[in-house]
A = this chain, B = another copy of it.
Amino acid sequence: MKRSKYFLKTLKNVSSQEKIASARLLKQAGFIEESAAGRFYFLPAGQRVQQKIMQVVKEEMDQAGAQEMVSPILHPLELWKETNRTNTAGFELMKVTDRRDADFALGGTAEEMFVDLVRRYKISYRDLPFNLYQFSPKFRDELRARGGLLRVREFIMKDAYSFHRDEEDFKVEYRKMSDVYTKIFNRLGLETTIVESDNGYIGGEYCHEFIVDSEIGESRYFKSTKGYAAHEDVARFKPDDKNLSEDMLELKEVDAPRGTTMQDGVNFHKMPLWQQIKDVMFVDDRGRYILAVIRGDYDVNETKLKHLVKAITLRPATNEEIREKLFSEPGFISPVGIKNKLEAGVELLVVADSSLRTIKNAYGGSNKKNLDLFNINIDRDFKADIEGDIALAAAGYEAPDGGILEEKRGIEVGNIFQLGYHYSDKMRGAVYTDKDGTEKPFYMGCYGLGIGRTMAAIVEVWHDDKGMIWPESVAPFSVNLISLGENEQAEKVYNYLLENGVEVIFDDRDEASAGEKFADSDLVGCPYRVVISRKSLEKGGYEISKRNSGEQKIVSHGELLKQLYE
């Protein structure tokens, strides 16, 4: 491609307000341009990169036996009603009505569409498993678009849906897809961490995000020095044992004219925070009161708590509710005896974090103002309705694998998760015929990968202050050929490279200075720059330099191809 004919308009000045490198550089290099906020044009060079990313994804998906197809973009809204997702998709759905008053959702994800397709056919156990995927535009009515391609309202997603006889069969595909994703991102020049994540309303343990570490990413997770990685919502850790060697002492009530915070308790009693009991009262979507009890130096992880009590939403109880419904006292709540007196009709669930097993003789409130209890011990002094992990992880804690948790930030470029029977249960007829002739619902999995965000992540990882540094696998061109007053010879080299299958952009612009050509070359970031100038010809050839290392040398015409392929 000759630069003089190519629609690649690099900009001299792009607002330095844009702190996110990928957003700034992709725009400045003329790869993308924003239409309405969060909706982007991919210009020819940007589209080349996008297509190369898709090609890598396609090759690896096909190699793994997945099959590409494509579904309509407008989804009949009745399908989303069938699964009750019109308002609970986890993102804002856009809706549109046609001239015949039929309602549609603009595809955000496509579980319903794929299930609706598959259930139209007679599927036998022999047909299973299969994994169907598509590259298709997705729409999210995000409140805020941000950071160029990082958070947008419209983007191409590779979404895949696998159909299985049962969970065992699904697990095989899940592991395969996990490997496929790792391979895809490696080919794209990205190192990813596979991070355990929250599967939201679906639940289950098979849910992982692929995260590229980056300071500007929106995903926060913890990573163990020994390998364990989990999203902050689900990260587990091992609470350290405290005073377990102590004997249990007698429960006693003490005067405690203190404030209502944990620190007030520490200050007043001059005892360690970890020995105090933290009591947090929530109300769930069904109106149940949930008392979360945890060691004083830990915080409650609401996502974990929600899953444990199977609630959809949680909110803090108000002071009035605590006093009038539970006859307790804000700042002095205690699991001890709280169930003895409740307003009629009130349901209260006491949920104890496992960390309470690491301490003895704890102190804390008594459900009465300015009175505390000493020597509280679980089982002896109170019983939990549910006991489990509801603790929020933090940097420095011990990971489940024995390493130490570090806090990380990154860009989520892909996610894989089980759907289980969620959709096949809700959608009538989503069944296969088993060996014994009975109809059974599909067990399903789902595998997403955002193309544009992956492109942004590549730039975040691969850039310097001069511009982008594309990995060979996705570079818009391999070679940026620059002629400095030697257009005739450069033209020959250009044709020679084309004939040999090298993707080359030839900066043949007469009106651009050498400085402009060099700056553009660095900005656009093709892996190789080849300069043909009088000076280089005098030295016996062309000056070839690598964008990633800066390594530079003169090569003869005969050596050129070898250099590019090495």
Contact = CB atoms under 8 A, between A and B. Distances in A.
Interface of A: 4-7, 9, 33, 35-36, 39-44, 46-48, 50-51, 65, 67-76, 92, 94-96, 98-100, 102, 104, 106, 113, 116-117, 120-122, 126-127, 130, 132, 137, 139, 141, 143, 153-154, 511
Contacts of A113: 35, 41
Given A67-B44, A126-B4, A130-B7, A35 B96 contact: no
Q: Which of A7, A43, A68, A95 has the most CB of B within 10 A?
A: A7
B67 A116 contact: no
A69 B47 contact: yes
6 contacts: A36-B72, A36-B104, A39-B72, A44-B69, A92-B99, A94-B96
Contacts of A46: 69
A487 to B, nearest CB: 15
Given A41-B69, A44-B68, 13 more contacts: A35-B75, A36-B102, A36-B104, A42-B70, A44-B132, A46-B69, A47-B69, A47-B70, A48-B68, A72-B154, A94-B98, A99-B143, A137-B137
B35 A71 contact: yes
Contacts of A47: 68-70
Nearest to A155: B72
A72 B41 contact: yes
A92 B96 CA distance: 14
A182 B539 CA distance: 49
Nearest to A65: B5
Nearest to A509: B126
Contact of A74 (B36, B70, B104): B36
Contact of A6 (B67, B76, B94): B67
Nearest to A76: B36
A74 B116 contact: no
Contacts of A120: 33
A432 to B, nearest CB: 12
Nearest to A134: B47
Q: Copies per complex?
A: 2
A6 B44 CA distance: 34
Nearest to A152: B72
A130 B46 CA distance: 17
Q: Which of A68, A72, A120, A154 has the most CB of B within 10 A?
A: A72
Closest 3 pairs between A and B when the two form their complex, measured CB to CB: A39-B72, A44-B67, A96-B96
Given A35-B76, A96-B94, A116-B35, A121 B9 contact: yes
A295 to B, nearest CB: 41
Given A44-B69, A154-B73, A96 B106 contact: yes
A6 B66 CA distance: 9
A72 B40 contact: yes
A68 to B, nearest CB: 6
A414 B463 CA distance: 42
Nearest to A114: B41
Nearest to A40: B72
Contacts of A116: 35
A153 B96 CA distance: 13
A4 B50 CA distance: 33
Q: Which of A98, A122, A130, A143 has the most CB of B within 10 A?
A: A98
Given A33-B120, A130-B5, A69 B40 contact: no
A116 B40 CA distance: 12
A4 B72 CA distance: 26
Contacts of A44: 67-69, 132
A9 B121 CA distance: 7
A98 B7 CA distance: 31
A33 B96 CA distance: 22
Contacts of A106: 96
Given A76-B36, A102-B36, A121-B9, A42 B69 contact: yes
B132 A69 contact: no
Nearest to A113: B35
Contacts of A143: 99-100
Nearest to A62: B1
A127 B9 CA distance: 10
Nearest to A92: B99
Contacts of A68: 44, 47-48, 51
Nearest to A511: B126
Contacts of A139: 73-74
Contact of A33 (B4, B35, B117): B117
Contacts of A35: 71-72, 75-76, 113, 116-117
Contacts of A102: 36
A75 B154 CA distance: 11
Nearest to A510: B126
A137 B6 CA distance: 25
Nearest to A163: B7
Contacts of A104: 36
